[in-house]
Amino acid sequence: MLFDEEIGMRALSIRQPHLYCITHLGKDVENRTWKPPAHIIGKRIALHASGKLDGRDGFEMASSIAGFDLAQAVCDAPSDMPLGAIVATAVVAGWFKTTAVRDEVSTTIGYGRYPTSIYASKWYLGDIGWVLQDVIVLPEPIPCKGALSLWKVPSSAMPDIIHSIAVGDNSICTPL
């Protein structure tokens, strides 16, 4: 099942350039301060580009991980980092948290089905790591207003999302 039909598809708003890193650079972990609800583990969610870009610190951090200047990428190809639109979908495979004990030993807890090598993902920066798999980039962004936390995708957007998932083989994200 793609998503829980009883409650509808959920969406997560993510600021750019972090969503760009998911859709174009193979970012496999979304850092949050809260665990994903158990009912979406293994389900596909929509990935929504927030209406605002992240601040300078967010761009610098993402650029250092990506290995190039993401702020320049926005200037060079602004359509690659749309705002205020659903741009992709992904399966939430699970979550994990790594905590340091006495600055040396770490303990990882988590839930879901994913390879434990994800714990070493260069994209994991602490707190809770949402493991994202099977990212499908939509052929065209679907403009809509986002919200905090997980929110229900508007029914008007669902036909385009379902169609993109069905024919999405050519738009599945492959890391550079």
Tell me the C-alpha distance between 157 and 142, whole Å.
7
Does position 161 have pLDDT exceeding 80, yes or no? yes
92-136: pLDDT as tens digits: 999 988 876 555 556 677 777 777 777 778 898 878 999 999 999
* Element holding 93 (H helix, E strand): strand 85-101
3 in a structural domain: no
- Indicate whether 16 belongs to any domain: yes
141 or 3, which is more confident: 141
Provide, rounded to the nearest whole percent, the portion of the chain with pLDDT above 90.
Answer: 31
Q: Which residue has the tokens 């997560």?
A: 12
Q: Specify if 49 maps to a domain.
A: yes
What digits encode the pLDDT tens for the residues 56-92?
A: 888 888 888 888 888 877 677 666 788 899 999 999 9
Domain with 157 in it: 10-171
CA distance 125 to 146: 24
The continuous run of DSSP H or E covering 132 comes out as strand 128-143
pTM as predicted: 0.83
In a domain, residue 137? The reply is yes
> Is residue 1 in some structural domain?
no
List helix spans (H) across the chain: 18-25, 56-66, 70-76, 158-166
User: What torsion, rounded to 10 degrees, do the Cα atoms 38, 41, 43, 49 define?
Assistant: 90
Q: How many domains does the chain have?
A: 1
- The Cα–Cα gap between 167 and 171 comes to 8
Whether 142 maps to a domain, the answer reads: yes
In a domain, 143, yes or no: yes
- 176 domain residue, yes or no: no
